[in-house]
Structure 1
Amino acid sequence: METLFVVLIGAVAAVLANQNIAVFNDGLRPIVSEHIEGRLKRRELGLTAFAMSFGLVIGFGIPFTLSASIILIHSILLGTDIIGLIAPKNRWGLPAAAIVGGLYGWGLMVGLEGFVKLFDYLPVNFLEPMGQVGDPVVVTFMAFPALAVAMQFTIKKGILTFVVSALVRQLAVFVNEHEFLQIGGNAISLNQEGMALIVGMIFLFTYAIREKAEEGSSVDLASVFSEKVKSIKNNVAFFMIIGALIAGATNLLLMAGDPISLNLLADGKQADAGIAAAARAIGFIPLVASTAIATGVYSPVGFTLIFVVGLFSPNVWVAVIIGAIVIFGEVMLLSSIARFLDKYPGVRNSGENIRNAMTKILEVALLIGGANASNAIAPGFGFFFIAGFYLLNEAAGRPIVRMAVGPVGAIAVGIIANILVALGIMSIPQ
């Protein structure tokens, strides 16, 4: 059943991309819209999708998937974006996308097990140290609302948001240590990063809502893009299918929607992972809604609330049903969300700042994590390699996205360490 879920997700997501209905990569939605309106050829669209997503699959999705033995949704849906958009939009391209997308999902499941077994035979098993790649992400991610506030509003407001978030985090640590919160004699442990993240998001949206539209400047997004909203609503059945599948797969702990919840799931903290996923979903609503309304192209995971459904549902079938209902509600509410975003332009504008802030935080966290993992694999050499790799990548004009440098560098160090041990140049790290 687990394999079937992943295979179906791969097949359906590839079909949605092939039919220009939904793509996972936020940056691809406007480009797909250009193709729909006849300004971009299919071949150019496929090549653009490959260029934008392949590096993230290899350098971001797969390393996280390997480090936790849980599929990071990016590794499958960025891949199906490429598969669906490269396949021509005709009568044979559709079944080809479905078949290749399903095989790709199956390959992730089968290949994952094979990879894990393969590491046991290596002189230097670097699978466990690879887990350190994601360690800083959970802690540093709580700073992204403060960075988004600083980028959109003022640096003073960003600093205030950061300081209050940090204080709330330490207050949560203090409460946990002294077991102040109890129910029925059992101490309740607060997730300190989750509390800081929620406080930061409250600050961000409070500032955003205060930013009102100027007199006469309001534009009714729902009216302007009514045909595009209508096209998304016409495909709601497809979104319900993939929403149900992803919610079910998440409930089975097969996949996670972001590095934060993935690492928490790997540590057995399912409730904390659900809180982190909920905070992320709230932050992504302006971005997903705005791009969907403006382009007529949705995301196969919607507002990412289906991951929250999967993590908090009591069993897989409840997750499947609620997942379908939730994504149906999202699509039906797009017009209302458009009017709300129009009323509060600060909230609408925060979408891009949220995305940029998340990217910057992840770039720093993954570089630190990649350096720590590399040094655990090959002490001394690991730090040297990551520093040189990062600087040379910058000097070369950044052929590898910054976010991928840490994870890719850690994998490279693992391979190099095994080669050096095999040649007798390096001893096996203790």
Structure 2
Amino acid sequence: MKEQSVSTILASTAEAGSKSLDFSLGQQLTVIALCALTAFISHMALAVFNDGVRPFMLDFIQGRTTRTATTAVAFGLSAGFIFGLGAPMALASGVLNPWLLFLPTDVLGILSPKKWLAPLLGGAWGAVVVFGLGGANDLAHELPVDFLTAMQEMSTPILFLFTLFPVLAITKQFGRLRGGIAGVVELALVVVTMKAWPDIFPGAVAMAVGVLILIGFAVQKDLNQRRLDRAEKAKAAAAGDTEAAGDAADDPMNSLFSASAARIRRYLPLYMALGAGVCLLAQMHVFGGGEATSFLIAKGEYAEAAQVDFYRVFGFIPLIATTALASGAYAIAGFTLVYPIGYLLPSPWLAVLAGALVFAVEVLALSYLGKVLGRLPSVRDSSEHLRNAISESLWLAILFGSLMAANTMGGGLGIMIVGGLYLLNEAMGRVVVRMAAAPAAVLVGGVLLNLLYWLDLFTPVKG
């Protein structure tokens, strides 16, 4: 009976993309309004979604670079993720994602020369998504080679390989022995979960334990280092070396951090409205904050989706906090805590209230959080390792899943086309960013296979 339940979970994972892209009126209005708001906030240089764009915002805020130049940077860093990852993931899972919604509004907001035009452009993009994506989805499913259904093959490797990101982070930061132990623990937990609790996502408990192990190692290292530092200062004081015994000189970045935090706090009501909107969208269950989360939301596993996005928070809080304090521009999704909170809340009104309160706390706590992170270097390093591990595990999962999709829609020829496009992109210096290259290759490969079918040169694989 348990084995049968496990098989059911694996089968439902493969069917994750069956969720419809037809939105209710309330969902349509929420997406359009939120895209308008995020474009307006981006225009004001108050927040952007792309972490790579945020460091460039300080020069823009201080007038050292032009709006056109900043737009070019934002588009260059975002285009691959929009068309190579955001759109394919939405079509494959049937769930919206931040790359499809918020990266374009970053670009449109910065591009807009007038304050009033930014929300109009953002709202227009939201309308394109909610009214156009469903039509594109329906059209693609009518093609002889249904590459969107084939792309649902990506869900299984994404969900299960993503489970290993804490193991990778522990190995990179604390060595092979601790990483190997964490790997054995996670594997055991996945197996036990599949046998004991067959109706829940097997990686949920494993990821939780892995992240806790990583944080425990990091905190222990920082506490040990602080004890050693205090001992060194005590020795220096006893020897009369006042310079070594005293605190280091004030960090010259402190004044910049203080000014940036003050700038962000001035617009607190606007950030609260942003938090309310993002949390509301997550509560509607038509939006997932990550690759794995999108497929879990599509399957209706909201508690598991909340767990996955909650664990990701630990990898992004230090990055978002430091870049916000350095640039004066916050993140569109904040620390992304509004994602898991939204998934779990039963009422839209509770989501609006909770999202506003969460963003208020985040904005008001920025300065304090920056100081705390300054005293915990190993925790900051763990954040970097977590982000890299997430990227590495998802890159492999997406590549493997894309080849599975290629096999489903075209057999060996499909693998040749999709794999060949991916390798060509690598050889050309990654014209499309690595994470997005494989899903983009599946879309292009699907179009090519349909053209070959219409030319009577290819017979679709029967499944």
The structure 1 residue matched to 2:393, chosen from 361, 381, 386, is 361
Question: Which segment drifts farther, 217-226 or 298-307?
Answer: 217-226
- Is 2:146 aligned against 1:125? yes
- Is 2:162 aligned against 1:141? yes
How far apart in 2 are the matches of 1:247 and 1:218? 41
Aligned to 2:184: 163
Aligned CA distance change for structure 1 residues 315 and 407 (closer, same or farther; 3 Å): same
Aligned CA distance change for structure 1 residues 351 and 41 (closer, same or farther; 3 Å): farther
How far apart in 2 are the matches of 1:353 and 1:34? 28
How far apart in 2 are the matches of 1:84 and 1:223? 28
Aligned CA distance change for structure 1 residues 68 and 218 (closer, same or farther; 3 Å): farther
Contact 2:256 2:325 (8 Å CA) reproduced: no
Structure 1 residue runs without a partner (length 5+): 178-188
Contact 1:222 1:229 (8 Å CA) reproduced: no
The structure 1 residue matched to 2:261, chosen from 229, 239, 246, is 229
What does 1:131-280 align with in structure 2 at a 5 Å threshold? 131-176=152-197, 189-212=199-222, 215=229, 216=247, 225-280=257-312
What SS is found at the alignment partner of 2:330? coil
How far apart in 2 are the matches of 1:125 and 1:104? 26
- Across the aligned residues of Structure 1 and Structure 2, the Cα RMSD in angstroms comes to 1.9
Amino acid at match of 2:393: I
Which protein shows a greater Rg?
A: 2
Identity across the alignment (%): 33
What does 1:24-35 align with in structure 2 at a 5 Å threshold? 24-35=49-60
- Is 2:424 aligned against 1:392? yes
Aligned pair count reads 415
What does 1:388-427 align with in structure 2 at a 5 Å threshold? 388-427=420-459
How far apart in 1 are the matches of 2:391 and 2:160? 15
How far the C-alpha of 1:175 sits from its partner, in A, is: 1.8
What does 1:293-312 align with in structure 2 at a 5 Å threshold? 293-312=325-344
Aligned CA distance change for structure 1 residues 159 and 40 (closer, same or farther; 3 Å): farther
The structure 1 residue matched to 2:134, chosen from 79, 92, 113, is 113
Structure 2 residue runs without a partner (length 5+): 1-25, 230-246
Aligned CA distance change for structure 1 residues 354 and 165 (closer, same or farther; 3 Å): same
**What do residues 275-294 of structure 1 show as CA deviations (whole Å, max 9, x unaligned)?**
11221223322221222122
- Is 2:36 aligned against 1:11? yes
Aligned CA distance change for structure 1 residues 151 and 235 (closer, same or farther; 3 Å): farther
How far the C-alpha of 1:217 sits from its partner, in A, is: 5.9
How far the C-alpha of 1:226 sits from its partner, in A, is: 0.9
Contact 2:411 2:461 (8 Å CA) reproduced: yes
What does 1:316-331 align with in structure 2 at a 5 Å threshold? 316-331=348-363
User: Scaled by the length of structure 2, what TM-score is found?
Assistant: 0.85
The structure 1 residue matched to 2:316, chosen from 276, 284, 307, is 284
How far the C-alpha of 1:223 sits from its partner, in A, is: 6.1
How far apart in 1 are the matches of 2:186 and 2:248? 34
Contact 1:366 1:403 (8 Å CA) reproduced: yes
Amino acid at match of 2:44: Q
Contact 1:377 1:413 (8 Å CA) reproduced: no
What does 1:345-384 align with in structure 2 at a 5 Å threshold? 345-384=377-416
Contact 2:268 2:360 (8 Å CA) reproduced: yes
